[in-house]
Amino acid sequence: MWLWIGLAAMAVVTAGVAVFLMLGDREPSRAEQAAAVVLEPTVTTPVAPTATDPAPVATPPLSAVKLTPKILSKKCYGSAGCNLEVEIDLGWEGARVPTGSVWRVTYEMSGVEDGPVIGNFEITDSRYDIKTELVQTTSSKAKIVIKATAIELMSS
């Protein structure tokens, strides 16, 4: 009987060694790799702004933008009203336009025949492209009014 127990123990040890030798040199499966991944917590420290980081650019208030219509040409047709070419002159009150940035100003022109005209132009380093609008009025006495409705930073 001891003989059978010894042979059985030897067979188990031999089988275990054989399995170890066969599987010991192989690459682990994806499931085994995924099970072996141990996630360690990472600690991040906030990065303090450096002296070279640009400061955020403050949006100028709408009250700083003064838009004035300048009539370049006017052709009236009696009771049918007038055709006008209107140039938009830009005035700026208060702080200067921040340099090195591009701003879009949206405006609304009222006093024209088909309701308000909405348009925009860009300001770059205190320069802007002169904007003209071709509009019609219902009478020769109509008053054209232009007001800024929004200012947004396009790039800095």
- Residues 52-110: pLDDT tens digits? 656 667 788 888 889 999 999 999 998 889 999 999 999 888 767 777 889 999 999 99
Select the more confidently predicted residue: 3 or 20. 3
Select the more confidently predicted residue: 6 or 118. 118
Cα distance between residue 10 and residue 26, in whole Å: 25
Cα distance between residue 148 and residue 151, in whole Å: 8
Question: 28 falls in which pLDDT band (50, 70, 90)?
Answer: low
pLDDT at 42: 43
- Residue of 108, 115, 92, 119 whose CA lies nearest to 146: 108
**Per-domain boundaries in the chain:** 62-155
Mean pLDDT of the chain: 78
Strand runs labelled E in 27-129: 65-76, 82-92, 102-110, 117-124, 127-128
The separation between the first and the last C-alpha atoms of the chain, rounded to the nearest angstrom, is 92
Q: If you classify domain 62-155 with CATH, what class do you get?
A: mainly beta
pLDDT at 40: 44
pLDDT at 148: 95
SS3 content of the chain, % helix, strand, coil (to 5): 25, 40, 40
| pLDDT over 70 percentage in the chain | 64
pLDDT at 80: 87
pLDDT at 39: 39
pLDDT at 79: 85
pLDDT at 111: 94
Q: Are 65 and 120 in contact (CB under 8 A)?
A: no
Rounded to two decimals, the pTM is 0.61
Q: Is the dihedral of CA 131, 136, 140, 145 positive or negative?
A: negative
Please report where in the chains the tokens 């991944």 appear, as a residue: 37
